[in-house]
């Protein structure tokens, strides 16, 4: 049984304690693509995976901004570990919105016990680039699921794998046990960054799912669901930026000769140009963190709003989250790449593994292009058109 976290403050404290340990082996795990089995087990035991379970079901029901802080702390230590629970929290939130009471009761108890939810949402593509849709077929008192999913972050370590599938044209999510007959997770993720996210392909061959383990996914109308999901992405990128900034500062403090652009000072950190350039990177990172916290609060305001105010506040939350996502993208890419200009060639030595921050940032930020988020913000402020959720 996992520990059950009770408050927002406890959640952040536990995340910081875990992150300190996770950071120690991050470069080694990345270099050898060593999956963080012990670290993920510690994450489960800590109770962090249950912090968004509603208080009525025994969880802490933490603020959305608190979840962002937890993901940020974990990602600063190891960007891959920060991403592993992304879809876990996404489906716990989806369960809150769409799950039947019996399914909520069962899966919330599983999550509080330390069970992990994986991800099988992205359909594979055929030879012509078309999506190969996974479908549900009625069978006895449930369904059979067949097909292939890719980019299944966290699936290798999951106890339950939520599978998105089509049922007569409507999207549904089937919660499948990791050891279900006919289900196979293939460890085939080969990206140059986020290398240890426990991602892979999920293969389903007539996997039986009882009807009570399937829920609809309604995407009609205004919702905060997509904003909640974007918060986790923004938190990962902000954390990667913070981790890179901390490692850069540690390296530069120990660098005593040379320095960009000249050698006027004995230590690099005494060079005023270096201090100014580093300050610019720190400002980008602090702005990303502030926008992340603000956007999390905007989601909670919308969810707590009276019916007459919900749509307006949900639109504001969507714009706030788009801004946070755009800033996190910029901070992560600039910090992880530009600080090397302030150091010497010794900073790029492979044993240090400092390049992993840029590879992680570059890999994760292509998931949801920054240009789309900037357009969303501009369209809202210029034309009064808010970004709305849509099927993906």
Q: Quote the Cα angle for 384-388-390, to 5°.
A: 150
Q: Containing H/E element for 143?
A: strand 142-150
Q: 281 and 260, same structural domain? A: yes
Q: 289 and 233, same structural domain? A: yes
pLDDT of 291 reads 98
d(CA 133, CA 116): 25
Q: Domain span at residue 268?
A: 225-383
Q: Quote the Cα angle for 97-164-95, to 5°.
A: 20
If one counts the domains in the chain, the total is 3
Phi, psi of 288 (to 5 degrees): -60, -40
In three-state secondary structure terms, 11 is helix
List b or e across 35-49, with b for residues whose CB sees 16 or more CB atoms inside 10 angstroms.
bbeebbebbbebbbb
* Single residue among 112, 139, 157 that ends a domain in this structure: 112
**Do 193 and 362 touch, CB atoms closer than 8 A?**
yes
Report yes or no on 1 lying in a domain: no
Q: 274 and 179, same structural domain? A: no
Report yes or no on 254 lying in a domain: yes
Q: Containing H/E element for 147?
A: strand 142-150
Report yes or no on 391 lying in a domain: no
Q: Which residues, 6 or more positions from 322, have their beta carbon under 8 angstroms from its beta carbon?
A: 230, 373, 374, 376, 377, 387
Q: Which mean pLDDT values do the consecutive 10-residue runs of the chain (392 residues) have?
A: 96 98 97 97 98 97 98 98 97 94 98 97 87 90 96 96 89 96 96 96 97 86 89 98 97 71 66 94 98 98 96 96 98 97 91 97 93 96 83 34
* Single residue among 168, 184, 216 that ends a domain in this structure: 216
Q: 25 and 75, same structural domain? A: yes
pLDDT of 340 reads 95
Q: 311 and 356, same structural domain? A: yes
Q: 270 and 290, same structural domain? A: yes
pLDDT of 224 reads 92
Q: 166 and 103, same structural domain? A: no
Instruction: Name which of 155, 156, 174 is nearest 164 in CA terms.
Output: 174
**Do 51 and 60 touch, CB atoms closer than 8 A?**
yes
Instruction: Name which of 74, 226, 60 is nearest 154 in CA terms.
Output: 74
Report yes or no on 377 lying in a domain: yes
Please name every residue paired with 215 in a beta bridge, in sequence order, or none if there are none: 173
Cα end-to-end span (Å), the chain: 35
d(CA 231, CA 297): 11
Q: 207 and 340, same structural domain? A: no
Q: 341 and 192, same structural domain? A: no
In three-state secondary structure terms, 388 is coil
Report yes or no on 3 lying in a domain: no
Q: 262 and 208, same structural domain? A: no
Q: 366 and 241, same structural domain? A: yes
Report yes or no on 2 lying in a domain: no
Q: Containing H/E element for 299?
A: helix 272-303
Instruction: Name which of 376, 264, 369, 380 is nearest 312 in CA terms.
Output: 380
pLDDT of 219 reads 65
Please name every residue paired with 216 in a beta bridge, in sequence order, or none if there are none: 172
For 160-225, give the DSSP string: EEEEEEEETTEEEEEEEETT-TTEEEE-----SSSTTS---EEEEEEEEEEGGGEEE----S--SH
Report yes or no on 388 lying in a domain: no
pTM: 0.95
pLDDT of 123 reads 92
CATH number at residue 325: 1.20.140.10
Report yes or no on 390 lying in a domain: no
**Do 172 and 91 touch, CB atoms closer than 8 A?**
no
How, if at all, do strands 170-177 and 160-167 pair? antiparallel
pLDDT of 391 reads 35
Hey, CA dihedral for 303, 304, 306, 312, is it positive or negative? negative
Cβ-in-10-Å burial (0-12, 13-18, 19+) of 56 comes to exposed
Q: 207 and 267, same structural domain? A: no
* Single residue among 184, 216, 248 that ends a domain in this structure: 216
CATH number at residue 51: 1.10.540.10
């Amino acid at each position: 049984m996992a520990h059950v976290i009770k408050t927002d403050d406890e959640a952040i404290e536990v995340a910081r304690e875990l992150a300190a340990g996770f950071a120690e082996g991050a470069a080694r795990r990345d270099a050898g693509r060593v999956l963080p089995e012990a670290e993920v087990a510690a994450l489960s035991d800590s109770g962090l995976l249950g912090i968004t379970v509603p208080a009525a079901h025994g969880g802490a029901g933490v603020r959305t901004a608190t979840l962002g802080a937890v993901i940020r702390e974990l990602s600063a230590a190891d960007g891959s570990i920060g991403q592993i629970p992304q879809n876990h929290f996404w489906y716990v939130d989806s369960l809150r919105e769409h799950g039947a009471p019996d399914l909520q009761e069962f899966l919330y108890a599983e999550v509080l016990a330390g069970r992990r939810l994986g991800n099988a949402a992205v359909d594979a593509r055929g030879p012509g680039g078309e999506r190969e849709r996974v479908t549900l077929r009625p069978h006895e008192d449930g369904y059979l699921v067949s097909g292939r999913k890719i980019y299944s972050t966290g699936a290798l370590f999951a106890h339950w794998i939520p599978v998105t599938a089509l049922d007569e044209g409507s999207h549904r999510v089937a919660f499948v046990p990791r050891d279900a007959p006919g289900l196979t997770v293939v460890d085939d993720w080969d990206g140059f960054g986020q290398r240890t996210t426990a991602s892979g392909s999920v293969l389903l061959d007539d996997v039986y799912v009882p009807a009570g383990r399937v829920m609809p996914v309604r995407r009609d109308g205004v919702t905060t669901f997509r904003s909640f999901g974007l918060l986790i992405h923004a938190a990962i990128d902000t954390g990667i930026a913070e981790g890179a900034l901390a490692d850069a500062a540690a390296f530069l403090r120990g660098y005593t000769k040379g320095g960009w652009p000249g050698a006027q000072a004995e230590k690099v950190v005494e060079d005023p140009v270096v201090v100014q350039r580093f300050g610019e990177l720190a400002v980008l990172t602090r702005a990303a963190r502030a926008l992340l916290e603000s956007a999390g609060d905007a989601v909670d305001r919308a969810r707590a709003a009276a019916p007459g105010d919900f749509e307006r506040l949900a639109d504001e939350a969507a714009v706030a989250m788009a801004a946070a996502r755009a800033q996190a993208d910029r901070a992560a890419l600039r910090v992880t790449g530009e600080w090397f200009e302030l150091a010497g060639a010794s900073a790029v030595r492979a044993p240090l593994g400092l390049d992993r921050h840029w590879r992680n940032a570059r890999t994760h930020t292509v998931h949801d292009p920054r240009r789309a988020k900037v357009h969303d913000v501009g369209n809202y402020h210029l034309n009064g058109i808010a970004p709305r959720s849509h099927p993906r």
